[in-house]
């Protein structure tokens, strides 16, 4: 089922997600729906708060549905190690048409549970590293617009207000 993606400044996007304690059919349905929603939106990642569920769940697939082995489900994820810096363009499905360079760690190692509750670790660099940091930020109520410089943030907030006033947001 394709879920509705909420847009900034919907309150749920700024709230930290609740840790997941039950690894049941409801969770697996949420994960399946989140993948379907990501693909339908041509995205590479989606966090549960973006579909109105304030839970620490995110899905990532850099292949956009082409490589089953690229599907990543992260439940209760945390960054356990990071190093270096990268500064590349990002977008977010809750900010349609906004793309901006954001400073991130170059490499990360994360720890998370899969949809059955099993813990695993994963190391990543480049785009996957950026994507992991962006999605884990969502679970802490942190949005990429607040990782931009004040100048870029204000320009983009103005752009959003203009789109809102024109009924395009
Ligand atoms: Ni996002």
Determine the Cα–Cα distance for residues 99 and 67; give it in Å rounded to an integer.
25
Catalytic residue positions? 135
Q: What sign does the CA torsion over 93, 33, 70, 136 have?
A: positive
**What's the mean per-residue pLDDT of the chain?**
97
Interval between CA 26 and ligand 1 midpoint (Å)? 23
- pLDDT tens sequence across 73-91: 999 999 999 999 999 999 9
- pLDDT tens sequence across 1-35: 999 999 999 999 999 999 999 999 999 999 999 99
Q: Bridge partners of 141?
A: none
Helix (H) or strand (E) holding 71: none
- Using a 10 angstrom Cβ sphere, with 0-12 exposed, 13-18 middle and 19 or more buried, the burial of residue 136 is buried
pLDDT for 53: 98
What kind of architecture, by CATH, is found in domain 11-165?
Alpha-Beta Complex (3.90)
Percent of the chain with pLDDT over 70: 100
Residue 96 pLDDT level (bands cut at 50, 70, 90): very high
pLDDT for 32: 98
Interval between CA 10 and ligand 1 midpoint (Å)? 13
How large is the average pLDDT for residues 95-109? 97
Interval between CA 23 and ligand 1 midpoint (Å)? 24
Long-range pairs for 155-162 at CB < 8 Å and ≥24 separation?
Answer: 156/95, 156/98, 156/100, 159/98, 160/8, 160/95, 160/98
Interval between CA 118 and ligand 1 midpoint (Å)? 25
How large is the average pLDDT for residues 115-129? 98
Residue 58 pLDDT level (bands cut at 50, 70, 90): very high
Is the whole-model pTM more than 0.85? Answer: yes
Interval between CA 70 and ligand 1 midpoint (Å)? 18
pLDDT for 130: 98
Interval between CA 142 and ligand 1 midpoint (Å)? 9
């Amino acid at each position: 089922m394709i879920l509705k993606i909420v847009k900034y400044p919907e309150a749920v996007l700024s709230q930290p997600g609740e840790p997941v304690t039950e690894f049941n059919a409801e969770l697996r349905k949420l994960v399946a729906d989140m993948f379907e929603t990501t693909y339908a939106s041509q995205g590479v990642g989606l966090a549960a708060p973006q579909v109105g569920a304030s839970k620490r769940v995110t899905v990532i697939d850099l292949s956009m549905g082409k490589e089953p082995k690229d599907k990543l489900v992260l439940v209760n994820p945390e960054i356990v190690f990071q190093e270096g810096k990268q500064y590349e363009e990002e977008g977010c499905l809750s900010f349609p048409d906004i793309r901006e360079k954001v400073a991130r760690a170059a490499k990360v190692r994360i720890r998370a549970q899969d949809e059955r509750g099993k813990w695993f670790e994963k190391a990543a660099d480049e785009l996957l590293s950026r994507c992991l940091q962006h999605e884990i930020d969502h679970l802490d109520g942190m949005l990429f617009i607040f990782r931009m410089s004040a100048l870029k943030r204000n320009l983009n907030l103005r752009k959003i207000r203009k789109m809102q006033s024109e009924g395009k947001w």
